[in-house]
Amino acid sequence: MKDSLRRRLGLYAAIVFVVIVTYSAIYQWAMLTLAGERISFVHSLRVVIEILSTAGFGGDTDAWEHSDVLGFFVLVMNLTGVLLVFIGLPLSAVPLFRRALQTGPPTTTDLTDHVIICSYSERDEVLRNELESVGVPYLYIDEDPELVSELVDDGLDAIHGDPEKVETLRNANIEEARTLVADVDDETNPTVIISANRANPDLRVVSLATDAEAAQYHRYAGADEVVQSRKVLAESLAMHATSSLAEEFREAIKIENGVEIKELLVQEGSDLAGKTLGEVKVFDDKNVTVIGGWFGGKFVVSPEAETVIEDNSILLVVGKEERLNELKARPIAEHGEDESSEVVVCGYGSVGRAVADELRKRGVDVTAVDKQNRRGVDVVGDITEPQTLLEAGVRDARAVVIAIDVDTPAIYSSIVINQIAPDVEIVARAGGAESVWKLYNAGADYVLSLPTVTGELLASILIHEKEILTAQSHFDFRRTEAPALVGKTFADVSLRNETGCTVVAVERDGELITQLGGEFTVQEGDVLVAAGSEESLERLTEFVRRGVLE
């Protein structure tokens, strides 16, 4: 964050330098061409600096009066100086000066209806981005004064203090807050919860716990909801290893008309990366539609045209095969009906065991691999060794889940698996954002990082203004007839606002229509194909049949 502030100041200085030199050259030329006066570059430089700094003007005012163009240029320089001094300077240099002069970071706030986040971490950054997207204020509390100062300098709301103390929480205006998130560590969070309940007994408190044992004590302390980060990650990894969205969507529709359904990974360096969906010409074609996509740790149904395709986004697309082949993106591995149901789990620590347990609940055969010969391990060996992986049966597996908590061997193992079993799906755990793209480049099909998955789940719990479908969410595709909507347009009924789910396709007369705008009119016999959570799909079924919700 210090570097960010310094970069901002450096950029401001570079802009000022370029503006001064450019204006000086133009002014020197203008004085000769428009006023007939030859002046030196140093003279021109002095005049420009005087004008931009609003410190006064030189002796060239008589020349300006004889040329409207020259006078207008001087006016432009004046306005530029105002912008640089009153807008650019406060955004760049002032925070640095304020930080140098202040005696310490802020310790109080006057925010209201805000989310208090106790401590700062990568997952809290994910949560912050989601809160900002819906305009919900937030406040970090951290014991590190240097970190708090850096957060404040970056324009974030934060105060310094011990979140275990009632006084600190009152300084955070807890009486006017909407929710508190306890995210320090397993042992500290219960004390934060108890203090929060003392300061505001009516406040909703959400806590983060590493495992089940810690979670129960957080509940005893008074947490309204406890998020078990490792369990969340394990469930997400297991879900991706057993099904793909392309398969689920294919199962939901009942017609075959030559349309291909694929999940495409947009890797770094792809022509699609960094563009909005609306900027990709293939998506303007009626033969190709983006049904949804994984953006970070959440799934977005029917993303808007303004949605940016970030590196390593996964797009669920429907269209003609020849058109889909034009997209420079890597197809995600799919499973045939006759393929093995076995999943190989590499790493049998706390996350690996939880992944295996979740897979077995789903009726999936599991082969566990670990260096240590512990209970539940089927193959003892190093997952970076081809022989170990072959012994575990990766070539015949439905998928491989890499669940170890060290990124370097996970990346290496992905490369090895991709070489010896190129058709198997690889689902990998990443320790942080830096390793996500490395794992994708190493051949992984899905990569889930603990901070991103947990942060998005927190956001889905705290934010009611929109539905957030996380990697753990139980969402699906469903077909339903809509007798109550016949003759109405989608704009008329506003299905997403009414039900929380989105219609992604319509079956009509043996055709699958995926280009659906607000003007689309429902006809007799149409079958809607919608995507959303189980709850939102139930609301949709009720709404399209009766036209009302109970």
Residue 104: pLDDT band by 50, 70, 90 thresholds? confident
pLDDT tens profile 419-443: 999 989 999 999 877 889 999 999 9
Strands of the sheet with 425-430, listed across from one edge: 379-380, 366-370, 343-346, 399-402, 425-430, 446-449
In the chain, where the domains are located: 2-101, 115-223, 245-331, 475-546
Q: Let me know if the fold of 2-101 is the same as that of 245-331.
A: no
What pLDDT digit, counting tens, does each position of 384-421 carry? 999 999 999 999 998 999 999 899 999 999 999 999 99
Q: Please tell me the CATH code under which domain 2-101 is placed.
A: 1.10.287.70
- 372 phi and psi, to 5 degrees? -95, 140
Using a 10 angstrom Cβ sphere, with 0-12 exposed, 13-18 middle and 19 or more buried, the burial of residue 34 is: middle
Bridge-partner residues for 172, per DSSP? none
User: Cα(8)–Cα(11) distance, rounded to whole angstroms?
Assistant: 5
530: exposed, middle or buried (Cβ count in 10 Å: 0-12, 13-18, 19+):
buried
Do residues 502 and 301 make contact, with C-beta atoms less than 8 angstroms apart?
yes
Task: Round to whole Å and give the CA distance between 478 and 527.
Answer: 10
Tokens, residue 236: 């997400």
CATH 3.90.1150.10 at 115-223, yes or no:
no
Q: Could you read off the pLDDT of 139-168 as tens digits, one per residue?
A: 999 999 999 998 998 889 999 999 999 999
- Give how far Cα 241 sits from Cα of 79, 299, 349, 467, 534, Å: 59, 16, 18, 24, 20
Average pLDDT for 197-216: 93
Task: Give the CATH superfamily of 475-546.
Answer: Regulator of K+ conductance, C-terminal domain (3.30.70.1450)
Report, as an integer, the average pLDDT of 52-56.
66
- Distance from C-alpha of 286 to C-alpha of 309, rounded to nearest angstrom: 19
pLDDT in tens, 263-321: 888 888 788 888 888 887 777 666 678 888 888 778 888 888 888 888 888 888 887 77
525 touches 532 (CB < 8 A): no
Rg (CA), the chain: 29
Range 245-331 classified under CATH 3.30.70.1450: yes
pLDDT of residue 92: 57
Cα 451-207-176 angle, rounded to 5 deg: 110
* SS3 label, residue 467: coil
